[in-house]
Structure 1
Amino acid sequence: MSVAEPRTIVLFRHAKADWPQVTDHERPLADRGRKDAAEAGRRLADTGIPFDQALCSTAVRTRETWKLAVQEFPQRPKTVYEERVYEASPGELIALLNETPDDLRSVLLIGHNPGVHGLADILAGSAEGEAHERMGRRGFPTAAFAVLSFTGSWKALEPGVATLRDYWAPTD
């Protein structure tokens, strides 16, 4: 694959988590989270993006979100569970995405706020239609996702190089 071909990044925040007496990393999804994760999976499948890889935080709520969402996909992408996604800043997430092999065209990152929302804002140098306005209005609630694209090597991913193509969040 040429590094000049367009690449897609989907930033997907985990669904609504419960607050039982466990560590933050071990928090499971709430009932609403399970419903929203499946709906987000349907919406992600509707994008028609053929994901090459999913990069998922090791936290229980992100793993559960991914397990429910991916059931809606026509084809399951390779999944990498990466502990560095948990509590990562936008800069740390960019550094992680910079490690992506250039033969991969599209990556779905399942992570946490504030890193995921911050990364969407930082990467989006431009936006299509009302995607940026919708994201600005809604913020980045649980189970929301942003679709961004850029051209170039993954090593060249940096602030402002991407276009925000789409944004979706569940309704309350």
Structure 2
Amino acid sequence: MSVAEPRRIVLFRHAKADWPDVPDHERPLAERGRKDAAVAGRKLADSGIPFDLALCSTAVRTRETWKLAVHELPHRPKTVYEERLYEASPGQLIAVLNETPDDVRNALLIGHNPGVQGLADILADRSEDDAQERLSRHEFPAAAFAVFSFTGSWKSLEPGAATLVEHWDPSE
């Protein structure tokens, strides 16, 4: 694949988690989260993006979100469970994305706030349609995702390098 061809990155926040008496990393999805994760998966399928790679935090709630969402996709991308995505800052998330092989055209990152929202806020220098307004209005609730497009290698991904193409959240 040429680095001149557009790439897409989807930032996907885990669905609504429950609050049982367990360490934060071990928190499972709430019933609403399980429903929203499947709906988000259908919306991702509707986007028509053929994902090559999914990078997923190792936290229970992100793994459960991905397990429910991926069943809705027409094909399952390679999935990498990445410890560095848990509690990651926007800069740490970019560092992980910068390691993506250049043969990957479309990647999905399943992570947590505030890192996912922070990265969404700084990644795009522009947006299509009303995607930026919707992202600003709704912030980045549980089970939401944002689709970004950029040109260049994954190593060149940095703040302001992308265009926000779409934003979806379960309240829409």
- With normalisation by structure 2, the TM-score equals 0.99
* Structure 2 unmatched runs, 5+: none
Quick one: distance in 1 between partners of 2:165 and 2:120? 11
Are 1:88 and 2:51 counterparts?
A: no
Corresponding residue SS for 1:48: coil
* Counterpart in the other structure of 1:152: 152
Residue type of the alignment partner of 1:33? G
- Which aligned pairs between 1:125-144 and structure 2 lie closer than 5 A? 125-144=125-144
Quick one: distance in 2 between partners of 1:120 and 1:21? 31
* Counterpart in the other structure of 1:30: 30
What is the root-mean-square deviation of aligned Cα atoms in Å? Answer: 0.7
Residue type of the alignment partner of 2:72? E
Quick one: distance in 2 between partners of 1:125 and 1:95? 19
Quick one: distance in 2 between partners of 1:4 and 1:82? 27
Quick one: distance in 2 between partners of 1:137 and 1:30? 24
Corresponding residue SS for 1:110: strand
User: How far did 1:4 drift?
Assistant: 1.0
Deviations 1:93-124 (Å, cap 9, x if unpaired)?
00100000001001000000000011011111
Q: Which runs of 4+ in 1 moved over 4 A?
A: none
Quick one: distance in 2 between partners of 1:26 and 1:128? 37
Quick one: distance in 2 between partners of 1:64 and 1:56? 10
Quick one: distance in 2 between partners of 1:96 and 1:52? 16
Quick one: distance in 1 between partners of 2:36 and 2:3? 35
The share of aligned pairs that are identical, in percent, is 78
Residue type of the alignment partner of 1:171? S
The count of aligned residue pairs is 172
* Structure 1 unmatched runs, 5+: none
* Counterpart in the other structure of 1:171: 171
